[in-house]
Amino acid sequence: MAVGCVALSLGVLLTEPLRRFALRRGITDRPDGRKGHARPTPYLGGIAVAVVTIGAGAGAAFAGGFGNPGLAVLLGGAAIMAVLGLVDDLRPLGPAPRLGVEAAAASVVVLVGGHPTVFGGVFDAVLAVLWIVFTTNAFNLLDNMDGAASSVCAAIGGFLCWHAWSSGQGGLGVVLAALSGASLGFLFHNWHPARIFLGDSGSLFIGFTLASASVVLHQDAAGLSVPAGLLVTTLVVTLDTALVMLSRYREARPLLQGGLDHAAHRLRRMGLTVRQTVMVLGTFAALGGLSGALLAWGVLPSGGLLLAAVVVGVTTVALLLRVPSVPGPAPSAAPVGEDGHPAVRLSVGRQMVGQTAGVAEGLRSKEPGPLHESGAAG
């Protein structure tokens, strides 16, 4: 509790000078047709979260005599993610170098920190690496609305911290407590309307840290408890990524190009405000984290929980797919033709031409490309 409170305070204090520095240097996320915010917004907030979390982890390692190599490797990999994200924020990278660095860092965490057992053998290690890389990028995709990624991180990290302390992994518990506290501190500045974004430096950092911690915490698990525990803990980010990929595939749109088609954006089109949307995402993340903790303590059965997670996930994705993936024009704005029917053909044509020109202009600019979903106000 004390670690989390200190981290929260530091998160609040460190974010403001980073915001001012980013504004002075022009390190801002500029609006375009694939983002929801209306004005340039600085995006170095993730650096504050990373500094506080790594500092707390280093303190825990020092107090423990540096006897936990797995914790040191996890912190090192998380630091690499923060640097990778910062480089991508300043000069967008392609998917290949990003995925290569992520896979290398995840492999070291799995080799040193351990991994759960599903099938036995090296295949389990490969699955663990893939899971960490997937979740890392899923958090990057989730960072698409004010407060979304940081609130979900705080909820998941809090329950993982509970799990770590109860299983005797105090060092990892300190890291997770600091991560949750720093995310809440950052949320003071990122709550709608956001004054600063996480940026890739933050979203990659929190995604990698939570995914790696979850894998390490489940290293003694086996059988159905492994997919059940990992899935329910990160159910929100997993469903959001699945929704986006399936929607873009069905509509023949680029899978890795950013857009306003995430779960948060669809909830907004259903009538929720930005803050209500973030509260819904945070609540579901907390329920998933609680379910994962109860599974680890033997309160919930692994088979039943896995089935419930799959049913909830499939149902949620199916329902959200019914919501339009792109904003539509307001019905009242449609002009009326001479025949008395809405004259929408011309307006739609003009809209398509305008969107095509906007996309072409965005591709010519140095705006974020594949695998980059900037935090944007909905």
Q: Where is the binding site, in residues? A: 140, 200
CA of residue 76 relative to chain centroid, distance: 20
- Residue type at 288 in one-letter notation: G
Q: How is residue 64 written in tokens?
A: 């423990």
Q: Are 144 and 375 in contact (CB under 8 A)?
A: yes
Amino acid (one-letter) located at 279: M
DSSP assignment of 339-360: TSSB-HHHHHHHHHHHHHHHHH
Contact between 219 and 118 under an 8 Å Cβ cutoff? The reply is no
Cis check: omega of the bond before 193, within 30 degrees of 0: yes
C-beta atoms surrounding 306 within 10 Å: 19
Other beta carbons less than 10 A from residue 295's beta carbon: 24
Long-range pairs of 352-359 with CB within 8 A, sequence gap ≥ 24: 355/33, 358/32, 358/33, 359/33
Residue type, 118: V
DSSP class of residue 336? B
**Where is 143: in which H helix or E strand?**
none
How many beta carbons lie within 10 A of that of residue 87, not counting itself? 16
Question: Residue 93 is which amino acid?
Answer: L
Q: In one letter, which amino acid is 215? A: V
Specify binding-site residues for Mg(2+).
Answer: 140, 200
Cβ 196 vs Cβ 18: under 8 Å: yes
How many Cβ atoms sit within 10 Å of the Cβ of residue 191?
16
